[in-house]
């Protein structure tokens, strides 16, 4: 029997959580082999686990796959302690799956995702384009994609296990930065719902597993390269062991008083990675990242935080090396 097609399922009038859940379930058959694709971080990992719970007994199998290396200690601790079953996307055969889901991301966010035809897309990042999938639920106003999945679970009267609740609880904390960043009432309601179900002591262990001793040297590089101009910090670290250290340094610098913008860059796997931070007040890190880098790589994010990844070959540097001065020059062209 032919499935119904729902091109876009935004947070519009008349679309309750139960209606969304039914439309999501309508995409799948009992014999489906389902692949859930994520760019692995706490929110994506938690959402993927929630999707496994939503599709239990409704499909034949659900596999979670990710293209990125999981280096950040917080995320490693989360995966190991919650025993999250994961596969590397490059190791799975796409043709073996009858249905594919992308969660906490959009196809345009990564080239590897653009090559996959998804049947369902669930995300909370700003909409980058129209997607021709059977089910699309993109709500940029939500602080965490996990909040959306909690609404699905509650609509289906599915109480999460302690492990799933812990993952979702931690994801909301991370993506809203303890509600200091973009969030809405729905995030708070879901957070409160999970409060007495999640293992909060385990969440503390995730949060404290933050940095390797060997990564402290990058702070020395970042501070020695640090350039200040008109309330903005710029620093380029050169080659880094993992892009996660760029995030840690950007978050650290974002705590400095009277700093409006923080841009931290580094080279990883033949790509320039740039992390953007700001207060989100009358400015948008996501839009700035897109203005600077969307034509040469992938770029985007939220008002307060964003990320860009650009293959070095696309930068036309010639014999020159990328530097803090280069970063500042590129950014200044697009900043008011």
Q: At residue 142, does pLDDT exceed 80?
A: yes
- Domain ends where: 157, 188, 208? 208
Confidence of residue 336 (pLDDT cuts 50, 70, 90): low
pLDDT in tens, 99-135: 999 999 999 989 999 999 999 999 999 887 889 899 9
- Kindly provide the residue ranges of all beta strands, DSSP E only, lying in the chain, ordered along the sequence: 33-37, 61-66, 87-88, 99-103, 120-123, 135-138, 227-229, 232-239, 261-268, 271-278, 298-301, 305-311
pLDDT in tens, 42-76: 999 999 999 999 999 999 999 999 999 898 889 99
> What pLDDT is attached to residue 183?
81
- Domain ends where: 155, 177, 208? 208
Average pLDDT rounded to a whole number, residues 321-332: 94
- 181 and 300 fall within a common domain: no
> What pLDDT is attached to residue 168?
98
Confidence of residue 35 (pLDDT cuts 50, 70, 90): very high
Tell which residue, 100, 122, 112, has the closest CA to residue 8: 122
pLDDT in tens, 181-196: 778 899 999 999 999 9
- 143 and 227 fall within a common domain: no
Confidence of residue 13 (pLDDT cuts 50, 70, 90): very low
Alpha-carbon distances of 100 from 9, 54, 186, 308, rounded to whole Å: 17, 15, 27, 25
- 59 and 166 fall within a common domain: yes
Tell which residue, 110, 115, 111, has the closest CA to residue 123: 110
Q: Could you tell me the CATH number of the domain that includes residue 194? A: 3.90.1640.10
- Domain ends where: 173, 208, 243? 208
- 296 and 183 fall within a common domain: no
Could you give the CA distance from residue 104 to residue 124 in angstroms, rounded to a whole number? 6
Question: What is the rounded radius of gyration, in angstroms, for the C-alpha atoms of the chain?
Answer: 20
Task: Tell me, yes or no, whether 5 lies in a domain.
Answer: no
Listing DSSP states for 29-89 in one string gives -TT-EEEEE---SHHHHHHHHHHHHHHTTTSSEEEEEESS----HHHHHHHHHTT---EEG
Could you give the CA distance from residue 304 to residue 285 in angstroms, rounded to a whole number? 6
- Percent of all residues in the chain with a pLDDT value above 90, rounded to a whole number: 79
pTM for this prediction? 0.70
Please count the other Cβ atoms lying within 10 Å of the Cβ belonging to residue 96.
Answer: 10
Average pLDDT rounded to a whole number, residues 297-315: 91
- 113 and 245 fall within a common domain: no
- 136 and 226 fall within a common domain: no
SS3 content of the chain, % helix, strand, coil (to 5): 40, 20, 40
Task: Tell me, yes or no, whether 252 lies in a domain.
Answer: yes
Could you give the CA distance from residue 35 to residue 112 in angstroms, rounded to a whole number? 14
Q: Are strands 261-268 and 232-239 parallel, antiparallel or unpaired?
A: parallel
> What pLDDT is attached to residue 318?
76
> What pLDDT is attached to residue 3?
43
pLDDT in tens, 213-241: 888 999 999 999 999 999 999 999 999 98
Mean pLDDT computed over every residue of the chain:
92
Q: Could you tell me the CATH number of the domain that includes residue 228? A: 3.10.310.40
Question: What is the extent of the structural domain holding 311?
Answer: 213-332
């Amino acid at each position: 029997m032919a499935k119904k097609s729902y091109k876009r399922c935004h947070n519009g009038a008349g679309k309750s959580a139960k209606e969304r859940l039914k439309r999501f379930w309508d995409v799948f058959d009992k014999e489906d082999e389902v692949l859930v694709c994520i760019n692995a971080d706490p929110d994506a990992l938690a959402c993927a686990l929630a999707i496994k719970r939503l599709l239990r007994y409704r499909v034949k199998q659900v596999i979670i796959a990710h293209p990125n290396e999981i280096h950040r200690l917080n995320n490693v601790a989360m995966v190991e302690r919650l025993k999250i079953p994961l596969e590397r996307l490059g190791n799975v055969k796409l043709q073996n799956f009858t249905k594919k889901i992308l969660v906490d991301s959009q196809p345009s966010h990564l080239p590897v995702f653009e090559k996959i035809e998804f049947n369902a897309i669930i995300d909370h990042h700003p909409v980058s384009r129209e997607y021709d999938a059977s089910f699309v639920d993109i709500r940029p106003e939500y602080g965490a994609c996990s909040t959306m999945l909690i609404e699905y679970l509650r609509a289906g009267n599915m109480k999460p296990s302690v492990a799933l609740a812990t993952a979702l609880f931690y994801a909301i904390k991370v993506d809203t930065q303890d509600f200091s960043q973009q969030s809405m009432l729905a995030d708070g309601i879901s957070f409160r719902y999970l409060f007495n179900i999640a293992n909060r002591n385990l969440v503390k262990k995730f949060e404290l597993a933050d940095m390797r001793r060997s990564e402290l040297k990058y702070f020395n590089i970042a501070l020695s390269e640090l350039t200040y101009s008109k309330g903005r910090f710029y620093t380029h670290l050169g080659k880094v062991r993992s892009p996660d250290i760029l995030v840690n340094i950007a978050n650290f610098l974002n705590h400095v008083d009277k700093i409006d913008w923080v841009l931290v860059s580094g080279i990883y796997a033949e790509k320039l990675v740039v992390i953007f931070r700001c207060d989100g007040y009358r400015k948008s890190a996501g839009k700035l990242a897109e203005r600077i880098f969307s034509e040469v790589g992938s770029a985007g994010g939220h008002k307060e935080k964003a990320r860009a990844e650009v293959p070095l070959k696309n930068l036309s540097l010639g014999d020159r090396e990328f530097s803090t001065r280069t970063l500042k020059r590129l950014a200044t062209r697009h900043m008011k």
